[in-house]
Amino acid sequence: MDKNELRNKLVLIATRLFAERGLNGVSIRELSKAAGVSISMISYHFGGKEGLYSSVLQEQFSCFGHIEEINNADVEVLTKIEAYIRWIIVRYRNNPYLLRFYTSELTNPTQFFSLIVQPAIEKVFQILMQIVEEGILNNKFRRDLNPADTAFAIAGIVNYYFLSTSATQEIISHLPDRDEELIRHCMDIFTKGILHN
């Protein structure tokens, strides 16, 4: 096994273990045993358990960079918001452990929160606020909207859908074949509200 294969194997195994038990819940001995390598190999490739955890977080949150593509697309603001909602859904579908790292770092931050997690989340919210501000300036959205509160509301709808999966699976289907319906409903709630006109 070459260096890249070994490094990728360690990240893959560590992702599952850290997602299940957090940084402090997994020992370097468990990591080395699960990967079938010596502790010295983890130190060699990552500088230790914390370095491996940092690499896992970087990989998990690297998908947040896609928000730049959404923002830079030459489309109208509602299309950007729909692309954002679609991106959240794809992000969680393609990264099944991401939500665990996301919530764990938000509720019990490690030393890597301010280096990796917070900048990724801040970037998303800054771009969402820019999209809302663009909508206000172009008379697509109401002038009295607060861009920050609106960005949090948009993000909250879809993030909570995935966060509450275990608690709401008896109430609503969380299967991927329902994703387009979810996108449509989120857009309807965002653009039309819930009041009968």
pLDDT tens digit string along 106-139? 999 999 999 999 999 999 999 999 999 999 999 9
| Domain count along the chain | 2
Question: Which structure tokens are listed for 33?
Answer: 């045993």
pTM of structure: 0.90
Q: Show the domain range for 46.
A: 3-59
Residues 113 and 161 in one domain: yes
Residues 52 and 123 in one domain: no
Residues 94 and 7 in one domain: no
Q: Evaluate whether residue 140 is within a structural domain.
A: yes
Q: Evaluate whether residue 197 is within a structural domain.
A: no
Question: Which structure tokens are listed for 166?
Answer: 């275990």
Residues 41 and 79 in one domain: no
Q: Evaluate whether residue 173 is within a structural domain.
A: yes
**Amino acid, single-letter form, for residue 131:** I
- Counted residue by residue, the chain has a size of 197
Residues 55 and 67 in one domain: no
Residues 158 and 112 in one domain: yes
pLDDT for residue 81: 96
Question: Which structure tokens are listed for 134?
Answer: 């663009």
